[in-house]
């Protein structure tokens, strides 16, 4: 597996963001704060890193007078995440802790 990807997803907040975005079509910044349990500042930094690596796409828009940030996984992000998961599974982790993600691909 790509060392850079491994390093990128070694951070739990980044791994949470990418795993969540892998399972949904898109998610708001607010939702990502909720699921990752990270602070606003921290999550902004981690989102930027994932975006710079081309794994996610960030779209900013306004709804009424409020800004809304939507994040979406890119096809590169999906492929990378699958590679990452395969590498985790190749470590021989037993079935009970294994991820059943076949239906989501």
Binding site for another protein (CB under 8 A): 9-10, 12, 15-16, 19-20, 22-28, 30-31, 34-35, 63, 85, 88, 91, 93, 97-99, 101, 104
Looking up tokens 């898109």, which residue turns up?
26
Shortest distance (Å) from residue 93 CB to another protein: 6
Cβ 63 to another protein shortest distance, Å: 7
3-state secondary structure of 70: strand
Short-list 45, 47, 43, CA closest to 59: 47
Please state the closest distance from residue 41 (CB atom) to another protein, in A. 19
Kind and range of the H or E run holding 81:
helix 75-89
């Amino acid at each position: 597996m790509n060392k850079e990807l491994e390093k990128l997803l070694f951070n739990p907040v980044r791994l949470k963001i990418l795993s969540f975005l892998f399972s949904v079509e898109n998610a708001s910044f607010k939702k990502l704060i909720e699921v990752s349990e990270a602070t606003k500042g921290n999550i902004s930094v981690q989102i930027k890193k994932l975006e710079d690596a081309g794994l996610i796409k960030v779209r900013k828009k306004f709804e009424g007078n409020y800004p809304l940030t939507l994040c979406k996984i890119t096809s590169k992000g999906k492929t990378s995440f699958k590679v990452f998961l395969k590498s985790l599974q190749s470590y021989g982790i037993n079935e009970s802790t294994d991820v059943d993600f076949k239906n989501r691909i």
